[in-house]
Amino acid sequence: MRLRNRARAVLALTFAITLLATMSACSGSTAASYPTKDITYIVEWGQGGAADGIARALGEATTPHIGKPIMVKNVVGGAGAVGALELVQSKPDGYTVAQQQGSVVTIAPHLQDVGFKSEDFQVLSMVFTFPFVWTVKADSPYKSLDDIVADAKKRPGEITFSFSGVGTGGHLAVEGLAKKLGIKLKIVPFQTAAEGVTALLGGHLDTALSHPPDAATHIKEGRLRPIAAFSKFPGMETIPGLKSLKEMGIDYEASAWSCNVVPKGTPKDIVEKLRTAFNKGMAEKSFVDYMAKTMQPINIKTEEETLAIWKADYDAMGTLIKDLGLAK
Protein backbone atom coordinates (compact mmCIF):
# COMPACT_ATOMS: atom_id res chain seq x y z
CA MET A 1 0.00 0.00 0.00
CA ARG A 2 2.82 2.37 0.91
CA LEU A 3 4.62 1.59 -2.34
CA ARG A 4 1.45 2.32 -4.32
CA ASN A 5 0.98 5.67 -2.55
CA ARG A 6 4.63 6.53 -3.11
CA ALA A 7 4.31 5.66 -6.80
CA ARG A 8 1.27 7.90 -7.09
CA ALA A 9 3.13 10.76 -5.40
CA VAL A 10 6.12 10.37 -7.72
CA LEU A 11 3.79 10.27 -10.74
CA ALA A 12 1.99 13.43 -9.60
CA LEU A 13 5.30 15.25 -9.00
CA THR A 14 6.60 14.19 -12.41
CA PHE A 15 3.40 15.46 -14.06
CA ALA A 16 3.66 18.83 -12.27
CA ILE A 17 7.30 19.29 -13.28
CA THR A 18 6.50 18.37 -16.89
CA LEU A 19 3.56 20.82 -16.91
CA LEU A 20 5.70 23.65 -15.55
CA ALA A 21 8.45 22.95 -18.08
CA THR A 22 5.90 22.93 -20.91
CA MET A 23 4.36 26.20 -19.74
CA SER A 24 7.80 27.79 -19.45
CA ALA A 25 8.77 26.62 -22.92
CA CYS A 26 5.54 27.92 -24.40
CA SER A 27 5.99 31.26 -22.69
CA GLY A 28 9.54 31.54 -23.98
CA SER A 29 8.60 30.57 -27.52
CA THR A 30 5.73 33.11 -27.54
CA ALA A 31 8.09 35.91 -26.55
CA ALA A 32 10.70 34.75 -29.04
CA SER A 33 8.23 34.80 -31.91
CA TYR A 34 6.64 38.14 -30.93
CA PRO A 35 5.20 39.95 -32.77
CA THR A 36 3.02 37.83 -35.04
CA LYS A 37 0.50 40.56 -35.93
CA ASP A 38 0.12 44.34 -36.22
CA ILE A 39 0.73 46.48 -33.12
CA THR A 40 -1.83 49.13 -32.15
CA TYR A 41 -0.34 52.51 -31.21
CA ILE A 42 -2.89 54.58 -29.29
CA VAL A 43 -2.77 58.36 -29.63
CA GLU A 44 -4.99 60.16 -27.12
CA TRP A 45 -5.60 63.16 -29.41
CA GLY A 46 -7.29 63.74 -32.76
CA GLN A 47 -5.90 63.31 -36.24
CA GLY A 48 -3.89 66.16 -37.69
CA GLY A 49 -2.45 67.40 -34.39
CA ALA A 50 1.18 67.42 -33.29
CA ALA A 51 0.90 64.21 -31.23
CA ASP A 52 -0.76 62.38 -34.12
CA GLY A 53 1.95 63.45 -36.57
CA ILE A 54 4.73 62.35 -34.24
CA ALA A 55 3.09 58.96 -33.62
CA ARG A 56 2.73 58.26 -37.32
CA ALA A 57 6.32 59.28 -38.04
CA LEU A 58 7.66 57.18 -35.15
CA GLY A 59 5.45 54.19 -35.97
CA GLU A 60 6.76 54.17 -39.53
CA ALA A 61 10.38 54.52 -38.37
CA THR A 62 10.00 51.76 -35.77
CA THR A 63 8.16 49.18 -37.92
CA PRO A 64 11.35 47.76 -39.53
CA HIS A 65 12.88 47.23 -36.09
CA ILE A 66 9.91 45.31 -34.64
CA GLY A 67 8.98 43.37 -37.77
CA LYS A 68 5.24 44.15 -37.95
CA PRO A 69 3.29 47.31 -38.85
CA ILE A 70 2.61 49.79 -36.04
CA MET A 71 -0.89 51.11 -36.64
CA VAL A 72 -1.93 54.45 -35.09
CA LYS A 73 -5.36 54.51 -33.44
CA ASN A 74 -6.76 57.88 -32.33
CA VAL A 75 -8.78 57.53 -29.12
CA VAL A 76 -10.06 60.97 -28.18
CA GLY A 77 -11.83 62.23 -25.07
CA GLY A 78 -11.46 63.20 -21.42
CA ALA A 79 -8.28 65.24 -22.02
CA GLY A 80 -6.57 62.02 -23.10
CA ALA A 81 -8.01 59.87 -20.30
CA VAL A 82 -10.22 57.81 -22.64
CA GLY A 83 -7.22 56.62 -24.62
CA ALA A 84 -5.20 55.91 -21.48
CA LEU A 85 -8.07 53.86 -20.04
CA GLU A 86 -8.30 51.81 -23.24
CA LEU A 87 -4.58 51.10 -22.94
CA VAL A 88 -4.67 49.89 -19.32
CA GLN A 89 -7.76 47.75 -20.03
CA SER A 90 -6.14 46.06 -23.02
CA LYS A 91 -4.48 42.65 -22.83
CA PRO A 92 -0.86 42.98 -21.60
CA ASP A 93 0.60 41.05 -24.52
CA GLY A 94 2.64 43.73 -26.31
CA TYR A 95 0.10 44.36 -29.06
CA THR A 96 -1.17 47.64 -27.60
CA VAL A 97 1.16 50.58 -26.97
CA ALA A 98 0.19 54.18 -26.18
CA GLN A 99 1.87 57.50 -26.72
CA GLN A 100 1.22 58.72 -23.18
CA GLN A 101 1.23 62.48 -22.74
CA GLY A 102 2.35 63.51 -19.27
CA SER A 103 -0.72 65.64 -18.55
CA VAL A 104 -3.01 62.61 -18.80
CA VAL A 105 -1.34 60.96 -15.82
CA THR A 106 -0.12 64.00 -13.86
CA ILE A 107 -3.01 66.47 -14.31
CA ALA A 108 -6.23 64.67 -15.27
CA PRO A 109 -6.33 62.46 -12.13
CA HIS A 110 -6.49 65.62 -9.98
CA LEU A 111 -9.44 66.94 -11.99
CA GLN A 112 -11.62 63.86 -12.53
CA ASP A 113 -12.02 60.17 -11.74
CA VAL A 114 -10.09 58.69 -14.65
CA GLY A 115 -10.34 54.98 -13.85
CA PHE A 116 -6.59 54.33 -13.76
CA LYS A 117 -3.53 55.07 -11.63
CA SER A 118 0.17 55.45 -12.33
CA GLU A 119 0.85 51.84 -11.32
CA ASP A 120 -1.30 50.59 -14.22
CA PHE A 121 1.34 51.61 -16.78
CA GLN A 122 4.66 50.08 -17.81
CA VAL A 123 6.94 52.76 -19.22
CA LEU A 124 9.11 51.99 -22.23
CA SER A 125 10.88 55.37 -22.44
CA MET A 126 10.23 59.07 -22.79
CA VAL A 127 10.03 60.16 -26.42
CA PHE A 128 9.72 63.91 -26.85
CA THR A 129 8.90 67.31 -25.38
CA PHE A 130 6.03 69.54 -26.56
CA PRO A 131 6.99 73.25 -26.59
CA PHE A 132 4.15 75.81 -26.39
CA VAL A 133 3.88 78.89 -28.61
CA TRP A 134 1.41 81.72 -27.89
CA THR A 135 0.15 83.58 -30.96
CA VAL A 136 -2.36 86.16 -32.18
CA LYS A 137 -3.61 86.90 -35.67
CA ALA A 138 -1.28 89.15 -37.70
CA ASP A 139 -3.80 92.00 -37.74
CA SER A 140 -4.50 91.75 -34.00
CA PRO A 141 -4.28 94.96 -31.95
CA TYR A 142 -2.01 93.01 -29.56
CA LYS A 143 1.59 93.65 -30.59
CA SER A 144 3.16 92.17 -27.47
CA LEU A 145 2.54 90.34 -24.22
CA ASP A 146 2.40 93.70 -22.44
CA ASP A 147 -0.55 94.69 -24.65
CA ILE A 148 -2.45 91.53 -23.71
CA VAL A 149 -1.74 91.95 -20.00
CA ALA A 150 -2.83 95.61 -20.04
CA ASP A 151 -6.09 94.80 -21.83
CA ALA A 152 -6.78 91.73 -19.67
CA LYS A 153 -6.53 93.86 -16.56
CA LYS A 154 -9.09 96.25 -18.02
CA ARG A 155 -11.36 93.43 -19.22
CA PRO A 156 -10.79 90.42 -16.93
CA GLY A 157 -12.05 87.13 -18.34
CA GLU A 158 -12.87 88.52 -21.80
CA ILE A 159 -9.75 87.84 -23.88
CA THR A 160 -10.07 84.35 -25.38
CA PHE A 161 -7.22 81.86 -25.25
CA SER A 162 -7.37 78.43 -26.92
CA PHE A 163 -5.48 75.21 -26.22
CA SER A 164 -5.99 71.47 -26.66
CA GLY A 165 -8.42 70.28 -24.01
CA VAL A 166 -9.37 70.97 -20.41
CA GLY A 167 -6.94 69.31 -18.02
CA THR A 168 -4.04 69.19 -20.47
CA GLY A 169 -0.53 70.58 -20.15
CA GLY A 170 -1.55 73.55 -22.29
CA HIS A 171 -4.48 74.31 -20.01
CA LEU A 172 -2.35 74.35 -16.86
CA ALA A 173 0.44 76.25 -18.63
CA VAL A 174 -2.04 79.02 -19.48
CA GLU A 175 -3.64 79.04 -16.03
CA GLY A 176 -0.25 79.15 -14.34
CA LEU A 177 0.98 82.04 -16.48
CA ALA A 178 -2.25 84.00 -16.05
CA LYS A 179 -1.96 83.57 -12.28
CA LYS A 180 1.65 84.79 -12.34
CA LEU A 181 0.73 87.82 -14.47
CA GLY A 182 -2.29 88.64 -12.32
CA ILE A 183 -4.79 88.36 -15.17
CA LYS A 184 -7.80 86.24 -16.05
CA LEU A 185 -8.39 84.89 -19.56
CA LYS A 186 -11.39 83.18 -21.15
CA ILE A 187 -10.36 79.62 -21.89
CA VAL A 188 -11.64 78.01 -25.12
CA PRO A 189 -10.56 74.35 -25.42
CA PHE A 190 -10.30 72.34 -28.65
CA GLN A 191 -9.54 68.66 -29.30
CA THR A 192 -6.20 69.62 -30.86
CA ALA A 193 -4.06 72.76 -30.74
CA ALA A 194 -4.18 72.87 -34.54
CA GLU A 195 -7.96 73.36 -34.41
CA GLY A 196 -7.43 76.34 -32.13
CA VAL A 197 -5.01 77.86 -34.64
CA THR A 198 -7.59 77.40 -37.40
CA ALA A 199 -10.20 79.18 -35.26
CA LEU A 200 -7.71 81.98 -34.55
CA LEU A 201 -7.00 82.42 -38.27
CA GLY A 202 -10.76 82.54 -38.88
CA GLY A 203 -11.13 85.45 -36.46
CA HIS A 204 -13.02 83.44 -33.82
CA LEU A 205 -10.42 83.85 -31.06
CA ASP A 206 -8.17 86.56 -29.64
CA THR A 207 -5.16 84.34 -28.94
CA ALA A 208 -4.13 80.69 -29.20
CA LEU A 209 -1.63 78.36 -27.57
CA SER A 210 -0.24 75.71 -29.88
CA HIS A 211 2.88 73.74 -30.73
CA PRO A 212 5.61 74.80 -33.19
CA PRO A 213 4.36 72.75 -36.17
CA ASP A 214 0.88 74.24 -35.77
CA ALA A 215 2.09 77.85 -35.73
CA ALA A 216 5.54 78.21 -37.32
CA THR A 217 4.49 78.29 -40.99
CA HIS A 218 1.67 80.74 -40.29
CA ILE A 219 4.10 83.04 -38.47
CA LYS A 220 6.73 82.84 -41.21
CA GLU A 221 4.12 83.56 -43.91
CA GLY A 222 2.69 86.52 -42.01
CA ARG A 223 -0.69 85.15 -40.95
CA LEU A 224 0.10 84.94 -37.23
CA ARG A 225 2.15 87.09 -34.86
CA PRO A 226 4.14 85.39 -32.07
CA ILE A 227 3.58 86.60 -28.53
CA ALA A 228 5.86 84.23 -26.60
CA ALA A 229 7.27 80.73 -26.35
CA PHE A 230 6.69 79.14 -22.96
CA SER A 231 10.19 77.60 -23.16
CA LYS A 232 13.14 77.60 -25.55
CA PHE A 233 13.32 74.85 -28.17
CA PRO A 234 15.53 73.86 -31.13
CA GLY A 235 14.76 75.81 -34.28
CA MET A 236 13.06 78.61 -32.38
CA GLU A 237 15.50 81.12 -33.82
CA THR A 238 14.03 80.50 -37.28
CA ILE A 239 10.63 81.88 -36.24
CA PRO A 240 10.70 85.68 -36.72
CA GLY A 241 10.03 87.71 -33.59
CA LEU A 242 9.62 84.73 -31.23
CA LYS A 243 11.18 84.95 -27.75
CA SER A 244 10.74 82.78 -24.68
CA LEU A 245 9.04 84.14 -21.57
CA LYS A 246 12.34 84.00 -19.72
CA GLU A 247 14.05 86.00 -22.46
CA MET A 248 11.30 88.58 -21.94
CA GLY A 249 12.12 88.78 -18.23
CA ILE A 250 9.25 86.60 -16.98
CA ASP A 251 10.38 83.82 -14.66
CA TYR A 252 7.98 81.19 -15.97
CA GLU A 253 8.48 78.11 -18.11
CA ALA A 254 6.20 75.30 -19.22
CA SER A 255 6.20 72.46 -21.74
CA ALA A 256 4.62 69.03 -22.07
CA TRP A 257 6.21 65.61 -22.48
CA SER A 258 5.20 62.23 -23.80
CA CYS A 259 6.37 58.67 -23.26
CA ASN A 260 5.56 55.26 -24.71
CA VAL A 261 3.74 52.88 -22.36
CA VAL A 262 2.18 49.41 -22.35
CA PRO A 263 -0.21 47.88 -19.80
CA LYS A 264 1.32 46.71 -16.53
CA GLY A 265 1.90 42.98 -16.62
CA THR A 266 3.30 42.89 -20.15
CA PRO A 267 6.07 40.22 -20.18
CA LYS A 268 9.49 41.71 -19.50
CA ASP A 269 11.14 40.30 -22.63
CA ILE A 270 8.39 41.79 -24.80
CA VAL A 271 8.76 45.12 -22.98
CA GLU A 272 12.48 45.07 -23.76
CA LYS A 273 11.86 44.14 -27.39
CA LEU A 274 9.43 47.04 -27.77
CA ARG A 275 11.71 49.47 -25.93
CA THR A 276 14.68 48.56 -28.11
CA ALA A 277 12.64 48.83 -31.32
CA PHE A 278 11.15 52.25 -30.46
CA ASN A 279 14.54 53.59 -29.35
CA LYS A 280 15.98 52.51 -32.70
CA GLY A 281 13.01 54.13 -34.43
CA MET A 282 13.77 57.40 -32.64
CA ALA A 283 17.30 57.26 -34.02
CA GLU A 284 16.15 56.75 -37.62
CA LYS A 285 16.97 59.66 -39.93
CA SER A 286 13.36 59.92 -41.10
CA PHE A 287 12.12 60.49 -37.55
CA VAL A 288 15.00 62.77 -36.54
CA ASP A 289 14.38 64.88 -39.65
CA TYR A 290 10.63 65.03 -38.99
CA MET A 291 11.14 66.21 -35.42
CA ALA A 292 13.73 68.81 -36.52
CA LYS A 293 11.41 70.08 -39.25
CA THR A 294 8.50 70.44 -36.81
CA MET A 295 10.76 71.87 -34.06
CA GLN A 296 9.80 69.31 -31.44
CA PRO A 297 12.71 68.04 -29.33
CA ILE A 298 13.36 64.31 -29.14
CA ASN A 299 13.91 63.68 -25.45
CA ILE A 300 14.78 60.02 -24.87
CA LYS A 301 14.89 59.07 -21.20
CA THR A 302 15.02 55.73 -19.42
CA GLU A 303 12.11 54.20 -17.56
CA GLU A 304 13.60 55.28 -14.24
CA GLU A 305 14.20 58.87 -15.38
CA THR A 306 10.71 59.08 -16.86
CA LEU A 307 9.06 57.80 -13.68
CA ALA A 308 10.98 60.37 -11.60
CA ILE A 309 9.68 63.19 -13.83
CA TRP A 310 6.20 61.62 -13.78
CA LYS A 311 6.07 61.65 -9.97
CA ALA A 312 7.53 65.14 -9.62
CA ASP A 313 5.04 66.55 -12.14
CA TYR A 314 2.14 64.72 -10.51
CA ASP A 315 2.94 66.35 -7.16
CA ALA A 316 3.60 69.80 -8.66
CA MET A 317 0.43 69.76 -10.79
CA GLY A 318 -1.61 68.66 -7.79
CA THR A 319 -0.40 71.68 -5.85
CA LEU A 320 -1.06 74.09 -8.75
CA ILE A 321 -4.55 72.68 -9.34
CA LYS A 322 -5.42 73.17 -5.66
CA ASP A 323 -4.07 76.72 -5.75
CA LEU A 324 -6.23 77.46 -8.81
CA GLY A 325 -9.30 75.95 -7.14
CA LEU A 326 -9.71 73.35 -9.90
CA ALA A 327 -9.29 70.17 -7.84
CA LYS A 328 -12.06 67.57 -8.03
CA distances 71 to 40, 98, 107, 206, 272, Å, are: 5, 11, 27, 37, 20
Q: What are phi and psi of 272, to 5 degrees?
A: -65, -35
Q: Do 196 and 205 touch, CB atoms closer than 8 A?
A: yes
Whole-number pLDDT of residue 170: 87
Domain 37-130+255-323 belongs to what architecture?
3-Layer(aba) Sandwich (3.40)
pLDDT at 79: 82
Domain locations along the chain: 37-130+255-323, 138-238
What are the tens digits of pLDDT across the range 178-232? 999 999 999 898 888 889 999 999 999 999 999 888 898 999 999 999 999 999 9
- By the 10 Å C-beta count (0-12 exposed, 13-18 middle, 19+ buried), 143 is classed as exposed
pTM score, whole prediction: 0.80
Do 37-130+255-323 and 138-238 share a fold? yes
Q: Tens digits of per-residue pLDDT, 220-273?
A: 999 999 999 999 988 899 999 999 999 999 999 998 899 999 999 999 999 999
d(CA 156, CA 184): 5
Q: Give me the CATH code for the 138-238 domain, please.
A: 3.40.190.10
Low-confidence ranges of the chain (pLDDT < 70): 1-31
